[in-house]
Amino acid sequence: MPLRTPPSDYISMLRVAKGFDVADRRIAELVQPGDLVVTADIPLAAAVVERGGQALNPRGELYTHDNVQEHLAVRNLMDALRGSGVQTDGPAAFSHGDRQAFANQLDRLLSARG
């Protein structure tokens, strides 16, 4: 079922085949320098940044060339720990502060585009 999005020249929808990371790979293929992708998926964020795009997570953190590899390394370490049976805590509950940080960062990014 398609997501409902407001009419915009900046939003498009595309269907992809079913499969593990198929959508993420397609998004990464389509990213152009300067594009903005909102994602909580760190491997996708790394691919977006690698292609010159910007990746913003829902908590308002902008992934950049300076920080995305560190985030990816931590994510991979935690994944390996969980895979070996170590119990790890998940992320903190999404808060009003997270929502506000996202809105503020998104506003800054969109305002910078003119």
Res. 4: pLDDT tops 90: no
Q: How far is CA 31 from the centre of its chain?
A: 12
Average pLDDT over residues 75-100: 91
One-letter identity of residue 43: P
Res 46: pLDDT? 96
Q: How far is CA 50 from the centre of its chain?
A: 13
Is 9 within the bounds of a domain? no
Percent of the chain at pLDDT above 70?
Answer: 97
Query: Number of folded domains in the chain?
Result: 1
Cα distance between residue 85 and residue 27, in whole Å: 32
Res 1: pLDDT? 64
Is 56 within the bounds of a domain? yes
Is 75 within the bounds of a domain? yes
Is 78 within the bounds of a domain? yes
pTM, whole model, 2 decimals? 0.84
Is 48 within the bounds of a domain? yes
Is 32 within the bounds of a domain? no
Q: Which residues constitute the domain of residue 46? A: 39-85+94-112
> How many residues are listed for the chain in this entry?
114
Is 25 within the bounds of a domain? no
The CA-based dihedral angle spanning residues 31, 37, 41, 42, taken in that order and rounded to the nearest 10 degrees: 70
> Per residue in 34-86, pLDDT tens?
999 999 999 999 999 999 999 999 999 999 999 999 999 999 899 899 989 99
Is 46 within the bounds of a domain? yes
* Range in 15-19, 41-45, 94-98 the model is least confident about: 15-19
